A and B are shown apart, each in its own frame.
Chain A
Amino acid sequence: NAGVTQTPKFRVLKTGQSMTLLCAQDMNHEYMYWYRQDPGMGLRLIHYSVGEGTTAKGEVPDGYNVSRLKKQNFLLGLESAAPSQTSVYFCASRPARETYEQYFGPGTRLTVT
């Protein structure tokens, strides 16, 4: 199993450009999450999904949209990138409700100039 994979690994955007980050998991997990990591702030939850076709807002959802059209994929979109969205983005997934561990992808480093 590849686990949780993220595409791309690095990206540089200009202010106002749009992009989509892809997260894929091959573990048949129900729940998926998008976090951003900023120095001194740990990880903060952007959006999450508890199943195919469902999404919900986390702590810092503004400026981001998500979609979960297929169970194995969770997309994070930036419609109009801003320098404040410069960050490292992590995707995570989790199996059945009795297990609480989240499995993380390797991250995407995004710079917005």
Chain B
Amino acid sequence: AQSVTQLDSQVPVFEEAPVELRCNYSSSVSVYLFWYVQYPNQGLQLLLKYLSGSTLVKGINGFEAEFNKSQTSFHLRKPSVHISDTAEYFCAVSHSFLFGGYNKLIFGAGTRLAVHP
């Protein structure tokens, strides 16, 4: 069975500082990995995704993530955060359609990023 663990429920950080949001997953088959962002009172928006190829994935708003198969991790990073990055971030995993998963996304519990001036 697949599962996703987001290691920090809350991450406070000062504006212009770097940030890393950690995500580990468990799966017995090949996976696809996603980071979504949820701004207050809004739906989820895709930040970036890893399907195959380069393990360093760049997304919107200056975020990037690195897929590490040996450590089963997909940590999200940004070198310099802004106040507007304050939101909840969700890591999600889905296994290949070929394995009959119908692209069901399994979500982590979320990490609340609070950027302070």
Contacts and interface: CB of A to CB of B under 8 A. Distances in A.
Interface string A68-99: 00000000000000000000001010100100
Interface in A1-56: 4, 31, 33, 35, 40-45, 48, 50, 56
**Looking at chain B, what size class is its interface with the partner chain?**
20 to 34
B90 A104 contact: no
B49 A105 contact: no
A97 B100 CA distance: 11
Nearest to A90: B43
Contacts of A45: 104-105
B46 to A, nearest CB: 5
Contact of A102 (B6, B9, B105): B105
A32 B109 CA distance: 22
A100 B105 CA distance: 9
B43 A43 contact: no
B103 A42 contact: no
Given A31-B102, A101-B34, A105-B43, A42 B49 contact: no
